[in-house]
Structure 1
Amino acid sequence: MIARTNMITRLFTFAAMLVGIGQVGAQNLVALPKAALKQSDTPEKIELGKKLYFDPRLSATGTVSCNSCHNLMEGGDDGRATSMGVNGLTGPRNAPTVWNAVFQASQFWDGRAVTLEEQAKGPMVADVEMGMLGHDQVISRIKDIAGYTNDFQIAFKNDDAVTIENAVEAIAAFERTLITPNSALDRYLDGDEHAMSETQIRGMELFESIGCTECHSGPALNGWDIGSDAEFVEFPRFDTSPFVQAYDLATDLGRSQATGDNTDDHLFKTPTLRNVTLTAPYLHNGRVSSLAETCRLMASTQLDVELTDREADDLTSFMSALEGEFPEMTFPRLPSRSGESVIQAKVGSAINDQS
Structure 2
Amino acid sequence: MLKQIFTPFLMTIAVFSLVFCGPSEETKEIQGKAKQIIGSLPEKMPGSENDSEKLISLGKKLYFEKKLSMNETQSCNSCHNIEGKSAGVDNSPTSTGAFGKNGDRNSPTVLNAGFHFVQFWDGRAADLKAQAKGPILNPVEMAMPSEKEVLKRINEDAEYSKLFAEAFPNEKNPITYDNLAGAIAAFERTLVSQSRFDDFVKGDFKALSKAEQEGFKSFLAAGCTSCHSGNMLGGNSYRKVGLVNEYKTDDLGRFNVTKNPEDKFVFKVPSLRNITLTAPYFHDGKIPTIEEAVKKMAFHQLGIDLSDDETKKIVSFLGSLSDKNRTN
Q: Is TM (by shorter chain) over 0.5?
A: yes
Q: How far does residue 58 in structure 1 lie from its aligned partner after superposition?
A: 0.4
Give the direction of change, closer, same or farther, for the CA distance of 1:25–1:304 in structure 2 (3 Å limit). Answer: farther
- Alignment-derived partner of residue 219 in structure 1: 231
Deviations 1:60-99 (A, max 9, x none): 1100100000000201011110001011011100000000
1:29 partnered with 2:38: yes
Counterparts of 1:172 and 1:196, CA distance in 2: 33
AA matched with 1:287: K
Contact 2:245 2:303 survives alignment (8 Å): no
Counterparts of 2:75 and 2:30, CA distance in 1: 46
Runs of 4+ in 1 over 6 A off after TM superposition: none
Q: How far does residue 326 in structure 1 lie from its aligned partner after superposition?
A: 4.0
Structure 1 vs Structure 2: percent identity of aligned residues?
42
Give the direction of change, closer, same or farther, for the CA distance of 1:116–1:171 in structure 2 (3 Å limit). Answer: same
Q: Tell me which moved more, 137-146 or 115-124.
A: 137-146
Q: Superposed, which structure 2 residues align to 1:139-150 within 5 Å?
A: 139-150=151-162
Counterparts of 2:293 and 2:262, CA distance in 1: 26
Deviations 1:134-187 (A, max 9, x none): 111111111111110111011101341000111011000000000111x11111
- Alignment-derived partner of residue 97 in structure 1: 109
SS at match of 2:239: strand
List runs of 5+ in structure 2 lacking aligned partners.
1-24
AA matched with 1:211: G
- Alignment-derived partner of residue 344 in structure 1: none
Contact 1:77 1:98 survives alignment (8 Å): yes
AA matched with 2:244: F
Counterparts of 1:223 and 1:23, CA distance in 2: 23
1:58 counterpart (63, 68, 72)? 68
1:164 partnered with 2:177: yes
Q: Superposed, which structure 2 residues align to 1:1-355 within 5 Å?
A: 21-23=29-31, 26=34, 27-36=36-45, 38-73=48-83, 74-157=86-169, 158-181=171-194, 183-222=195-234, 224=236, 231-240=237-246, 244=247, 249-326=248-325
Deviations 1:180-222 (A, max 9, x none): 11x1111111111121011111111111122111111111111
Q: How far does residue 23 in structure 1 lie from its aligned partner after superposition?
A: 4.6
Counterparts of 2:65 and 2:235, CA distance in 1: 32
TM-score (norm 1): 0.80
AA matched with 1:56: K
Counterparts of 1:25 and 1:265, CA distance in 2: 34
TM-score (norm 2): 0.87
Greater relative contact order (Cα < 8 A, sep 6+): 1
Q: Tell me which moved more, 90-99 or 30-39.
A: 30-39
Counterparts of 1:325 and 1:46, CA distance in 2: 23
Counterparts of 1:143 and 1:24, CA distance in 2: 54
Counterparts of 1:291 and 1:179, CA distance in 2: 22
RMSD (Å), alpha carbons: 1.7
Deviations 1:110-148 (A, max 9, x none): 010010000000001101100011111111111111110
Contact 2:212 2:313 survives alignment (8 Å): yes
Counterparts of 2:235 and 2:167, CA distance in 1: 34
SS at match of 2:140: coil
Counterparts of 2:127 and 2:74, CA distance in 1: 22
Name whichever structure is richer in helix by fraction: 2
SS at match of 1:233: strand
Contact 2:214 2:313 survives alignment (8 Å): yes
- The number of aligned residues is 296
Counterparts of 1:86 and 1:162, CA distance in 2: 24
Contact 2:87 2:111 survives alignment (8 Å): yes
SS at match of 1:268: strand
